[in-house]
Chains A and B, each alone.
Chain A
Amino acid sequence: GAVVSQHPSWVICKSGTSVKIECRSLDFQATTMFWYRQFPKQSLMLMATSNEGSKATYEQGVEKDKFLINHASLTLSTLTVTSAHPEDSSFYICSARDVQNYGYTFGSGTRLTVV
């Protein structure tokens, strides 16, 4: 089945630094990838939709200058949290859309802790 690899699985960074999270579709091409944020005991909140070769579409209230998304190829999307602050600490999850099989496959998530 479709597999999405997300790295790193956890990261601790100092306040003010930037962190990059990678999301790769391993066995299918993903023209569209999605980035979610999840707080403890809450649902997944869609942050942005990433389309290969074009600018990401951000959901209302999501700071595009803080959460930089790049989707340079059909198998890789990256989320960079810039100038991270403790309030950015969260669980970030990517998802890739398998157009042929009409399914959404999720990565295993990245636990970001900003200290």
Chain B
Amino acid sequence: QQQVKQSPQSLIVQKGGISIINCAYENTAFDYFPWYQQFPGKGPALLIAIRPDVSEKKEGRFTISFNKSAKQFSLHIMDSQPGDSATYFCAASPSSNTGKLIFGQGTTLQVKP
């Protein structure tokens, strides 16, 4: 119930292409779904987040698509750049004040020039 499943484990995309990473969750109490970007030796940095009352959110080249009925959400990176090469984590948490953030397994993205 607490799991967040993320795929693929790794992804190679050509520069300018679209990177797509998918996540699925089970706990219907989750109501906050962020995506984080992590570079080696650094802490995760928030990219974009969504609540279940909207089906899509876009910020620059990053878009979250959310399917509440399927309990799935995905990250799309448009016009992928070599600087986007990093590890991406989806996560989910319930809305309580002490709600834990549960992470997916991570996706290592490599954008080839």
Contacts and interface: CB of A to CB of B under 8 A. Distances in A.
Chain A interface category by residue count:
20 to 34
A109 B45 CA distance: 11
15 contacts: A4-B43, A34-B100, A34-B101, A42-B106, A43-B103, A49-B100, A97-B97, A102-B95, A104-B93, A104-B101, A105-B46, A106-B43, A106-B45, A108-B42, A109-B43
Interface of B: 32, 34, 36, 41-46, 49, 89, 91, 93, 95, 97-106, 108
Contacts of A49: 98, 100
A22 B93 CA distance: 24
Contacts of A108: 42-43
User: Which residue among B41, B44, B91, B108 has the maximum number of chain A CB atoms within 10 Å of its CB?
Assistant: B44
Interface string A89-104: 0010101010100111
A95 B17 CA distance: 32
Given A51-B98, A102-B32, A109 B42 contact: yes
A93 B101 contact: no
Given A102-B95, A108-B42, 7 more contacts: A43-B104, A103-B34, A103-B49, A105-B46, A106-B44, A106-B45, A109-B43
Contacts of B89: 43-44
Nearest to A111: B41
Nearest to B32: A102
Given A44-B89, A104-B34, A32 B44 contact: no
Report, nearest first, the 8 A-B pairs whose CB atoms are least far apart.
A106-B43, A109-B43, A108-B43, A43-B103, A106-B44, A43-B106, A44-B103, A32-B98
A65 to B, nearest CB: 22
A48 to B, nearest CB: 10
A6 B104 CA distance: 23
Contacts of B46: 103-105
A93 B41 contact: no
A107 B36 CA distance: 13
A31 interface: yes
A108 B104 CA distance: 19
Interface string A35-49: 000000111101001
